[in-house]
Structure 1
Amino acid sequence: MDTTEALPEAGRIPLAVVVVDREGLVSHWSTGARRLFGPAREDAVGRPAADLLPVSGALHPDDADEPGTWSDPPTARYPASGCARVARRGGRNGERTDVLWWAYPLAGPGRERLLVLAADAARLREGPQDGPHGTGQLAPGFARHTEFPGAGELARRLPEILPSVSVQEATRIVSQVLELGYPVLEFSRHDRIPVTPDWGVPRRERRRAAAPVGHPADAADAARDLEYAAVRERLEFLNEVSGRIGSSLDLARTIQEVSAAVVPRFTDVAGTYLREQVMAGEGFPDGPPDATTLWHRVAVEHVDEPGRWDDVVPVGEAMPFPVHTPFFQCMTSGEPVLVPRISEEAGTAIAAQFEKRDIRPLINGRSMLVVPLKARDVVLGFMILLRHPGRAPFDDMDRVTGAELAARAGLVLDNARMYTYQENVA
């Protein structure tokens, strides 16, 4: 069941996500929090939460405990919610924002003490005021997720609004949130909708070709026309990509050109990884890559809400890839790897390599194509291409297109690499 189709649109809202540790300091500050409250992540993390968040009734410092530590009063064992008008730090002319917030006390072995979700109330009140939710009177609340249609899907999508934590930590937090109550918007006593994150993902309708009618020959002609159109579209796409990349011998600019050329026409997300020697401007990489080879994430292009990927898979990170992953299969075989849909089991296996964050909300249910970036039969890097669930999954023709795309991009990247290497030698 597609929850985004079943749930009222009013429940799809941009959310700020903040985590407070046991010392009362902010330990996670999402991009949404920066947009809503003002301070950048580097200015917020490590600061007292009470100085940044309008969550009165949820923050309970205990003077009797050691300075800087938190108590666990009875009221802190239950979720709290509220509305507040806050001055947006960094805003212009003393700008103030109406904020709705939900706060969940967290228990367990981790350092996380409090999970806070917040939303801009003004944005929720925009639009016509004569609809069933157009009263302008709304409040945050909690409800059992089982009270709504698609309860299982709500529970599965809950990690999307959690911070960048490991799979184990995400599972623990999800179970606590579901037990304490799913976040909802209350328009009246009997009019409530569950809150789901709005990441700005464009909705696409599946293309359905009309069944041809008439003589069987007409059906054959129609099928051939569709096939020719598909081939022509792919050739036009590849020619367009070839014309857009390679305008510079600067390695960073070339990487950006390659990523931007495929989004959104061919894919919704494109992550580019290069071998350490390529990034360092060294000579041609020696030998095939293995499980110890470091790969640098050099670009992430996508059509999701700005910051959604930045919080979880930041550009600049270097990491090896385990043998069991499709990425390892691609970089060692030098051939594209197609995963029509990433199942929950496969998503969990892929996410296990990321120790401090849960990437399953970003990949589960999506179609994935991993293509190698090669030059002279040596893998310089690879691209991870993902399509949203609402878009047709990658197929064998896309695999061929992706392989050709990667071959052209690999040559351009190798030219830029050689230029960088010669510059370093000089």
Structure 2
Amino acid sequence: MGAMTGSEAPRDDRETWQEDPVADAARATVDARGVVTRWSEGAHRLLGYPSDEVVGRSARRLVAAEPPAGTLRSLATRPQWNGTVTLVHRDGHRLTVKVLAHRRPPDEGGGRDGEWFLVAPRAGPPPPPEADALVMWAFTQSRSAMALYDTGLRLRRANAEMQQVLGLPEEAMQGLRVSDIVADPQSAGTEERMRRALETGEPQQTQVALRLAGDRTETVWTVSLVPLRDAGGQARGVLLSAYDMTEAHLARERLVLLNEASRRIGSTLDLARTAQELADVAVPDLADFATVDLLPSIEGGEDPPAGAPSSPVMLRRVASRSVLEGCPEAVVRQGAVAGYPEASPVAECLATGQPLIAAVTADGTAAWEQQSPERADRVRRYGFHSVLAVPMHARGITLGVATFSRHRNPEPFEQDDLLLAEEITARAAVCIDNARRFAHEHRTSLTLQSSLLPQRLPPQAAVEVASRYLPASPLAGVGGDWFDVIPLSGARVALVVGDVVGHGIQASAAMGRLRTVVRTLADVDLPPDELLTHLDDVVIHLSAEAEGTEGPAGVFGATCLYAVYDPVSRICTLARAGHPVPALVAQDGAAEFLDVPAGPLLGLGGLPFEATELELPEGSVLALYTDGLVEARGRDIDEGIDTLREVLARSGPSLEATCDAVLQELLPERPTDDVALLIARTRALDASHVATWDVPCDAAAVAGARRDACRQLAAWGLHEAATVTELVVSELVTNAIRYGAAPVQLRLIRNNNLICEVSDASSTSPHLRRARTFDEGGRGLLLVAQLTQDWGTRHTHTGKTIWAQQSLPAA
């Protein structure tokens, strides 16, 4: 038998014959036309013709008589023949010899198609006396297929098992070498190992894959070569024992493929990529062409309808792979939806819910002609002959079907192939379902997060703003980053950026709750440091609630930066809780990061927050952001901060363009964490928009306050607002004088609205109440609330301010 020789390159006796002049058999090759193409020295010795008198000429003159017609028919159909032939010697006498003939497969490129290799054994010396004992030892000590070779590597005996394996009787093989009996290029390697066994006295072992004569498939054998010695230690021959390892070899290959599938399939939570990984694993080890088609209904993340899909089955092509470049066999392009008729393997396996093996026949292909002529054409063109169709099930639902086809591999699929395809498809189906469910959850999280973030930023008198929000890659999951712009009393504005620790729906929901809390606390007009203190308490309470619930905890911590800007005083007050420091770009373009005390992470509790105040010239730009902007894989955070400073320094007047430039420079690819970016340019309200009066703490001063307010409205051209403003000024100043404490101050602010503010040194807040029929007071604030757009109270370090806001007609 032939053998693989590991790292040794097998000798091809079709190219060269390295002969032993004493022991070698007569060899020759004859092409399909009957012309001799090679002639060995052994053939020269047998028939007396030198090579130059035979090669290139017809072999008929070497044969004493035409072979019987049955022999010719046998040669035309069989890969191997053996028998006796009467030949003519060069000197004219005839001799009858045993001949073993092998049909040679064509070389790569189609050369020597139909060539025959013929060999006739050379008569060897008589067997040594101990030959019978040697045969007895060999054949009684082994139950495998075995053959005994002498020191000339010629076969002396072959047991019944070996004759059955090779399909030749012992007499047809006697006197021949392995390379003569098994016409395979690897046989030379086996002979080399036999020589090594004789020379070293050490047994040799190897594994060989052969397609033996008469076999439809290739088989794998373990070949053991044992040198046999006589009593004096002299090497007398080699015993070749062969064990059929085909089933074990195929089982190992299937295990290797299963391990490869476990390693490669499901490397991401991307549905299309997971399907492609299944096709890539299957080709070429299992199939020549593989496809993965999914039900279109699962793409939205919803479960498909129960039961078998209706006919014709509509499926979307998600992945394909072929041994041929570019998948030319594919009829359905990637991403397209196609229908499969009821008689197709795809529809049949989905209808029954069971995998199947289908043989591609001419009748079956003809039946497809009417329904899918293009498919029938591809089947014929590429020679499809066997198909596996495996439904993809996961968690009780049907996702689609995987098909595996063969057209280059001549072997049809067998039951073991079906089991293997079922196993790797089942693993892929679970991964695809995970990807589908993850995609659904990710879309849900994005929708939730989008609904919780500001849908638009209304124009503010205090600042001009631009913002960006980038969700993280699907693998990272949606985070809890948020930003907000909150209008406050007195034309002020609050700028907020925060980040909830964690990802997923829980983080998005927690972000929405915290954003609502911040807006509520902002309405109370708390200073930034006090607001963060209250927000810290809220996070602690939310975390405590989450600990007692099933599933992932809702909130474990958060960071936040809260800034309040007053356009009248141009004072900006900032406080942060574990959040990155904001950047400030001055009017001259210089960018710096503000020194704002860090403060603890929200949710730790018991630690104070500090606020920083600074005066900002009109036109200053504040940049607030979350850590995903400056932190990225493969980049140090200091590098990200330096890059942000550089981009802000060279930014132009457009805030929208600045946002785009920052993201393009820092995040050219999709971020691994959510990113929120808020950029604000400050505005200022000068004396032309603000009027302030000190009011004596005397009831008689109320009339003077009304007159001052009316004169200012006239100067601003707001005559229509005079009546309501008089009433508001009268009520608020009267309350401050009656219930508050000196000093009292009146201020009017005109921007998009008209704001009336009265401040005093008392911290007591007025309350809206409904006056009874005979009450002399209590109706003033009720009238103010009904006549103005909004009103309220904010506390300051020196007392309180009561304000009322009226909307003004558009200019």
TM-score range, shorter chain: 0.3 to 0.5
TM-score, normalization: structure 2?
0.25
TM-score, normalization: structure 1?
0.46
Q: Point out the structure with max Rg over C-alpha.
A: 2
Larger RCO, structure (CA 8 Å, separation 6 or more): 1
